[in-house]
Amino acid sequence: MVSHLRALEDLKSALAADQARAALALDTARRRAEAAAGMPADQRGRGVGAEVALARRESPHQGSRLLGLARTLLSDMPHTLAALESGQLNEWRATVIVRETICLSAENRQAVDRELAADTGALEGVGTQGLKNRTRKIALRLEPEAAVARARKAVSERYVSCRPAPDTMAYLTALLPAAEAISAYSALSRHAETQVSAGESHGRGRGQLMADAFVERLTGTPAGSVRVDVQLIMTDRTLLRGESEPAYLPGYGCVPAQYARDLLRGGPGSCGTSRGTTADTRDTGGVWGPLDTPGTVAEAEAEADDKTSGRSRRRSSINGGTSNIVPVPVPVPVPGGDGGGEADDSATRVWLGRLYTAPDTGRLVAMDSRARVFPPGLRRLIAARDATCRTPYCDAPIRHADHIVPWRLTGTTSADGGQGLCESCNYIKEALGWSSQPLPGPRHAIERRTPTGHTYASTAPPLPGTSPPRRTPRPVHSVIDLVLHPAAA
């Protein structure tokens, strides 16, 4: 069995090398065809990384990285490529070598490749960190100025990201210059030690004190009492009847029903902590990120004020009713609360926006518009429906509300004709040879066609309250059987 495992691992590495050759061949053929068609040099090859990603069931970002790996291996690093093909390196370890030499000139990159001599077995038994250190040491010796240029470039790539963690937690991560990161961490650490020394920890550990100080210094308010816009999606049964259907928190994912009710009742710090604080929680039907402009809540308030003052705004009729996707302030009795009654409006205000769905499929019902640009309410509805970028395997946050079929061809703007995309995927779909069209089905679905004629389908994720789909079993054939035992398959 051990020999079989090693043989399969070697096969994976060899297939990765073959994939690199195929990716580069696709890129080369596409660039030649586009050059022959007179396309400017700086526009050639757009979307090839996304095609590689779709074929490999990866995100577009990962597809571009894999295409870059293929270019470097086949043009500058034959020894590393040979080691990958023979199974002495796997794809990730080959990526580490390429990444540590990416800022070098082609000549020095080739020199690193020769000195490492990965295909001779010189790296047998060397761990990934050891491989990274060896490669970096050679690179620094050959081209020390490249490290300085790389450090300067890295400063310009600082950013902040938020990603889900288990148990309704999240990682808020900042990529910073090392000195600034260490300074910020030391300041939080000193604050925690001061709190403990002064006896003001109130039962919180050092890590909890640092986390609370981090939130307080960023928001300017005590941790647990932050005024937030929480775009929480849940069924009325979960909210008002205490049912257990999970809720959905855009930017995070599914959360337990009781957690969602606790969040509405007491704010984000009330779940599983001793902080008895509250928050101004507003559900505007949108998602986190640039798709929700800073004026979203103000616009909702203006619409509510217009309704109160008797001024009318256009609503679209749905089955003879009215589309109420604009939030209005209402007192909400949340099951499971301490008092079992209405939330105290002086402490917590919950803004509810109703999303109409078909009862059997969970498909959102929405308004249409003749405008070319998606109205704010429709943008929020599309973001709530799609959750993340609709490109298959891309989990990036939605940045653009986009027409599936260009508006110039349809002249309409609707939820069914719209999709949420990240910025990169929206630009890629405009490249030559790419097209998209809606697909019929119980939930919103899109078919995306690449320049090679391959098609990929994307179905909107099920919203809370959607019935599980009926699945038809299909015969499954093992790829390993087809490769290793073609006669038996």
- List, for residues 101-155, the tens digit of each pLDDT value: 988 999 999 999 999 988 888 888 999 999 999 999 999 999 988 888 888 888 9
Taking only Cα atoms into account, the Rg of the chain, rounded to an integer number of angstroms, comes to 27
Which of 114, 102, 120, 121 is closest to 78 using CA atoms?
114
Q: Are the C-beta atoms of residues 132 and 102 closer than 8 Å to each other?
A: no
Q: What is the pLDDT of residue 196?
A: 92
Q: What is the pLDDT of residue 284?
A: 35
474 Ramachandran zone, left/alpha/beta (phi>0; psi -120 to 50): beta
Written as six digits, the tokens of 276 are: 């008895």
Q: Where are the alpha helices (DSSP H) in 39-177?
A: 48-55, 60-76, 78-86, 91-101, 106-116, 128-142, 144-155
Distance CA 245, CA 233 (A): 11
Written as six digits, the tokens of 267 are: 């704010």
Cα 293 vs. chain centroid, distance in angstroms? Answer: 19
Distance CA 327, CA 232 (A): 12
Size of the chain in residues? 489
DSSP characters over 160-206? EEEEEETTTEEEEEEE--HHHHHHHHHHHHHHHHHHHHTT--TT--H
Which of 484, 277, 293 is closest to 373 using CA atoms?
293
Q: What is the pLDDT of residue 349?
A: 56
Distance CA 280, CA 267 (A): 7
Distance CA 341, CA 334 (A): 7
Q: What is the pLDDT of residue 297?
A: 30
Distance CA 269, CA 262 (A): 9
> Which ranges of the chain have pLDDT less than 50?
272-334, 337-348, 489
Cα 215 vs. chain centroid, distance in angstroms? Answer: 23
